[in-house]
Amino acid sequence: MNPLSSGRPFPDAARDALDNAQLRHNLGAATATIRTKRAAVVGEVPDWQQLRAAGAAIKDDVLANLDSYLLQLEEQVTGRGGSVHWARDAAEANAIVTSLVQRTESTEVVKVKSMATQEIGLNEALEASGITAIETDLAELIVQLGNDKPSHILVPAIHRNRAEIREIFLREMPAVDPSLTDEPRALAEAARRHLRAKFLAAQVAISGANFAVAETGTLAVVESEGNGRMCLTLPRTLITVMGIEKLVPTWRDLEVFLQLLPRSSTGERMNPYTSMWTGATEGQEFHLVLLDNGRTATLGDPRGRSALRCIRCSACLNVCPVYERTGGHAYGSTYPGPIGAVLSPQLTGVAANKTLPFASSLCGACYDVCPVAIDIPTMLVHLRGRVVDTKGRTPERAAMRAAAWTMRSPARWTRALRALRVVRLLRGRRALPPPASAWTRSRELPVPPKQTFRDWWTSR
């Protein structure tokens, strides 16, 4: 299955989530908490809007000059002892990483939380070659042990509460203390003990990257638990899989993003663990896999490309009224929420993700909080047009054309408005054919008036 497209229409998948009261409760509480924290720490930055504009401008420059920045990055990384690999798609990236791990003869790798490796289904690919990938981020570990899928970009186990986490640990974690409680401290301690053994034994680590500095060849990973630092420093071999849009031109540009990212994502003023490395350390190996997987295709759409500015902060998920009620699984993609609804269809091609651009009421809350000012609502509307263009003749198109034809002419429109009176006959009826039934399931139809406004005006 493509990690970017489950093939299941969003409205269907959403229904399952909506009916899950525990999930709704977990999500409502968690998103409200992060929303409040974010709003407080963003509100205290006097030049937030300027920072946001700077973030957008730096990323737009990267996207406009991606070819030269990527070559510059490759030169810098190679010059400092690292190896750079180019992957056109998920299959190529998985093959590269698998062969790199196989060369070390390791059968177990530790992983830093990474969206790029989720996007390509790396863990599953490694497993098929007999290599076990161990997620070391606490929430990713919960998801992995629970045979589950992440439901949030930043907080992958947001759909789980601590009682559920305790059950997963008791069931799946070898050598766990059977008297484990659901106190956060106890749960974290159990995960810590479990992971410590893995860190010390691992010969290979796999990470993503939050940023790569073209000027110096420096990679950066931003995390909160210290697990990333363990993975990035202890094992002999480090393999980093990074989307080609993760670049910033210069070291100085990090200043902007290291302010924007923690405040937007976890609602923290400063990020707890920011690890940066340049090339390979003596005695160790470093491989950088540059991943396209639909990004150059996204770059080709002038009205869609700014989705590639995204720094994966998840602020848009936390404020989205749709995400808050459905959670991430309903989107059927590694990237859920508003950014997922614009990014996933572009990475896969809209034909493989036809319902996601419609999974929004266009309320605009996502655009307001986006730290790199991606106009998600406008992009959703644009992608809806692209989806419609893949569809040929449909009853909806016929209806839209008929409506436009009527509205184009004031005379036709005046008659059509008058004809609405017929609907008065349906007053109080709920058993209507689709699409009216989708409305009347939960809402009364408005009763059309005896006289339209324009007829009242004319008779006045």
Q: Give the binding site for another protein (CB under 8 A).
A: 10-11, 14-15, 18, 24, 321-322, 325-326, 357-365, 367-368, 378, 381, 384-388, 396-397, 400-401, 403-404, 407-410, 413-414, 416-417, 420, 435, 438-439, 441-446, 448-449, 451-454, 456-458
Return the number of the residue (168 or 316) whose C-beta is nearest another protein. Answer: 316
Cβ at position 335, least distance to another protein in Å: 18
Quote the CA–CA distance of 204 and 245 in Å, as a whole number.
Answer: 25
Task: Enumerate residues 6+ apart whose C-beta is below 8 A from 323.
Answer: 27, 31, 317, 336, 337, 338
Return the number of the residue (128 or 400) whose C-beta is nearest another protein. Answer: 400
Return the number of the residue (103 or 397) whose C-beta is nearest another protein. Answer: 397
Cβ at position 407, least distance to another protein in Å: 4
Cβ at position 317, least distance to another protein in Å: 15
Question: Tokens 């309320």 label which residue?
Answer: 363
Quote the CA–CA distance of 209 and 113 in Å, as a whole number.
Answer: 9
Quote the CA–CA distance of 161 and 80 in Å, as a whole number.
Answer: 44
Return the number of the residue (10 or 257) whose C-beta is nearest another protein. Answer: 10
Cβ at position 186, least distance to another protein in Å: 34
Cβ at position 197, least distance to another protein in Å: 43
Return the number of the residue (8 or 325) whose C-beta is nearest another protein. Answer: 325
Cβ at position 413, least distance to another protein in Å: 5
Return the number of the residue (79 or 446) whose C-beta is nearest another protein. Answer: 446
Cβ at position 411, least distance to another protein in Å: 9
∠ CA 381-314-380, rounded to 5°? 5
- Provide the residue type at 159 as one letter: H
Return the number of the residue (91 or 447) whose C-beta is nearest another protein. Answer: 447
- Helices 254-265 and 48-64: angle between axes, nearest 10 degrees: 120
